A = this chain, B = another copy of it.
């Protein structure tokens, strides 16, 4: 079975690794990001090098209309969505006393409202999938990329903490609502820094390899519905936590 996947929020780090892994597995992968240049390049690479296909969909996740038309573009190209990865975040690293209202709004608009709207679009497809065809009882998968700040509010990162907590609350609510309908909702707590693309770091073992993270995303998609994971954490073996 070849899946249609939306990765909402793709940059050259984890987003790209997840998209690449899905493409390698033969999926049709739609890449959402505000800026066109990187996703165009990545889409070309995936079309060339993987078993799957890719589509760059320039989309501002703070704009509800853009999200709607982005999903329309995906459906036109690839058909209904089977997997959504809510991967975007927009938090500035400021505490209560320094944060502007605009920064707060932006973090919540990207990390909470954007994820809500993308989920509504994708889950509509997944429920429709379920009704329209006979592919069994699994309607799809929604994965949220979380962070330590989703389970432990962080000093000096008020809006990021608020948005990451909000997304985790949504994931849990959706898992309870949608699990019985065959949709697997999962929340991944990425605890630690991810290896930066295109540069060398001094102590590479202190960073998560984004391809290794993508392995666990793929495992979540492949889990049998009799034993689904709502939440798992991921960290480098040397991480202090």
Q: Taking beta carbons and an 8 Å cutoff, which residues of A are in contact with B?
A: 64, 95-97, 99, 101, 104-105, 108, 112-113, 116-117, 119-120, 123-124, 127, 137-138, 149-150, 152-159, 161-180, 182, 184, 195, 205, 207-209, 212-213, 215-216, 219, 222-241
On chain B, the residues within 8 Å of A177 by CB distance are: 95-97, 155-156, 158
On chain B, the residues within 8 Å of A209 by CB distance are: 224, 226-227
Known contacts A112-B162, A163-B166, A227-B213: A238-B179 contact under CB 8 Å: yes
Known contacts A176-B155, A177-B156: A97-B112 contact under CB 8 Å: no
Among A96, A149, A231, which residue has the most Cβ atoms of chain B within 10 A? A96
Could you tell me if A212 and B226 are in contact, using CB atoms closer than 8 angstroms? yes
Could you tell me if B232 and A228 are in contact, using CB atoms closer than 8 angstroms? no
On chain B, the residues within 8 Å of A219 by CB distance are: 216, 219
Known contacts A154-B176, A158-B174: A108-B112 contact under CB 8 Å: yes
Could you tell me if B97 and A105 are in contact, using CB atoms closer than 8 angstroms? no
Known contacts A165-B168, A180-B237, A232-B231: A212-B223 contact under CB 8 Å: yes
* Minimum distance in angstroms from A152 CB to a CB of chain B: 6
Could you tell me if B182 and A158 are in contact, using CB atoms closer than 8 angstroms? no
On chain B, the residues within 8 Å of A168 by CB distance are: 153, 165
Known contacts A120-B97, A232-B231: A171-B158 contact under CB 8 Å: no
On chain B, the residues within 8 Å of A127 by CB distance are: 97
On chain B, the residues within 8 Å of A120 by CB distance are: 96-97, 99
Known contacts A97-B123, A97-B127, A166-B165: A234-B227 contact under CB 8 Å: yes
On chain B, the residues within 8 Å of A222 by CB distance are: 215
* Closest B residue to A224 using CB positions: B212
A and B contact pairs by CB, cutoff 8 A, 25 listed: A95-B177, A96-B116, A96-B120, A96-B170, A96-B173, A96-B177, A97-B123, A97-B127, A108-B108, A155-B173, A158-B177, A162-B167, A162-B170, A163-B169, A165-B170, A176-B241, A179-B238, A184-B237, A208-B227, A215-B227, A216-B223, A216-B227, A229-B234, A230-B235, A231-B231
